[in-house]
Amino acid sequence: MVDFSGWEMPIQYEGIKSEHFCVRNSAGLFDVSHMGRIDFKGADALANVQYLTTNNASNMKDGKVIYSLMCNENGGIIDDVTVYRINSSHYFFCVNASNTGKDYEWIRKNIRGNAGLVNLNGEVSIIALQGPKAQKILQNLVNVNLEEIKPFWFRAGLMDSAEILISRTGYTGEDGFELYIRREHSADIWERISEKGKEYGLKPAGLGARDTLRTEMKYTLYGNEIDENVSPLEACLERYVDFNKGDFIGRDSLLKEKENGIKRRLVGFEMTEHSIPRHGFDIYRNGKLIGKVTSGMLSWHLNRGIGIGLVLSEYSETGSKFEVKIREKFYKARVIETPFYKRSL
């Protein structure tokens, strides 16, 4: 257990590797209650979501979820968020734990018109059930037909008498669900899922496995791949930026960056020599410093070291070669297509 943004969180239960493969092969249960929830309610809720974030929420229907980004005026990423539409006057953001207070203040400072703002951090628990057997496990416990919930959609339901919001989203690359629950019901629901999941091989999984699973997918982590000094264009998240939707914070800066040329790019790479890259290691090409490793690990799936790095754009093409400096030695690596892991459907 470690302190994580004021929350006591599990890094591992019985081991990161075993939990990692449990999620890939059956299912894992994560406590992610450290993530924040910020609600918008009012006639101008949509207008504020549009102004505060980069993606286009105007075509969302009730029960839809989209991935988006909040940027500052310079185009740097304040946070990446998932946006949920309850109805036309009620949306909420799921935000990163370390950013909940900062995000709330940023939104409060920039919110306009008729839109109330509520920070539900600590009141709502979030449990993530991830893996190929997640649906079988959960279907036995809820009053909702999970087959009807498509990826990036959600439904309200019941587990026994407890109200839950069931979202087909996750951070592992596997099928699964994130459950939003009133805090007073969360421990009971965790126990119910754990007990039902035993016959399917379900195990609890900690932040360590969550990190290795998302790295194999090249999913960004705030504080590693993205922060206020990195733009969505540099992070290769341009598909979540809609320049045609109208004004949003950071739009002018991002347009200028696009016109002038993007100087850095986030890449996935594999080590071609026996070594493991780690966050913060320098990346070189022919003795020239060209970037840094943002995340790295030994991929048990590929049986080699893999990493994510922010490098100068001229070295970001698939097949580009460079060296990672590890303990004063240089080890060869090359850019490859991502995600590193592809789920078999």
Residue where the block lists tokens 């309200």: 156
Helix (H, G, I), strand (E, B) or coil at 124: strand
Quick one: pLDDT at residue 6?
Answer: 87
Quick one: pLDDT at residue 80?
Answer: 98
8-state DSSP, 242:
-
Quick one: pLDDT at residue 343?
Answer: 83
**Bridge partner residues of 125 (DSSP):** 181
Q: Which residues touch 247 (CB under 8 Å, ≥6 apart)?
A: 51
pTM: 0.96
What does the pLDDT profile of the chain (345 residues) look like in tens digits? 999 888 899 999 999 999 999 999 999 999 999 999 999 999 999 999 999 999 999 999 999 999 999 999 999 999 999 999 999 999 999 999 999 999 999 999 999 999 999 999 889 999 999 999 999 999 999 999 999 999 999 999 999 999 999 999 999 999 999 999 999 999 999 999 999 999 999 999 999 999 999 999 999 999 999 999 999 999 999 999 999 999 999 999 999 999 999 999 999 999 999 999 999 999 999 999 999 999 999 999 899 999 999 999 999 999 999 999 999 999 999 999 999 998 875
Quote the CA–CA distance of 342 and 299 in Å, as a whole number. 13
Quick one: pLDDT at residue 4?
Answer: 87
Domains and CATH numbers, the chain: 2-213 (3.30.1360.120), 262-335 (2.40.30.110)
Quote the CA–CA distance of 221 and 294 in Å, as a whole number. 9
Q: What are phi and psi of 193, to 5 degrees?
A: -65, -45
Q: Which residues touch 307 (CB under 8 Å, ≥6 apart)?
A: 268, 269, 270, 271, 277, 293, 294, 295, 296, 297, 324, 333
- Helical ranges in the chain per DSSP H: 16-25, 45-52, 100-110, 134-139, 183-197, 207-216, 251-260
Quick one: pLDDT at residue 255?
Answer: 98
Quick one: pLDDT at residue 5?
Answer: 83
Quick one: pLDDT at residue 345?
Answer: 59
The interaxial angle of helices 100-110 and 45-52, nearest 10 deg, is 110
**Bridge partner residues of 265 (DSSP):** 311
CB 297 within 8 A of CB 248: no
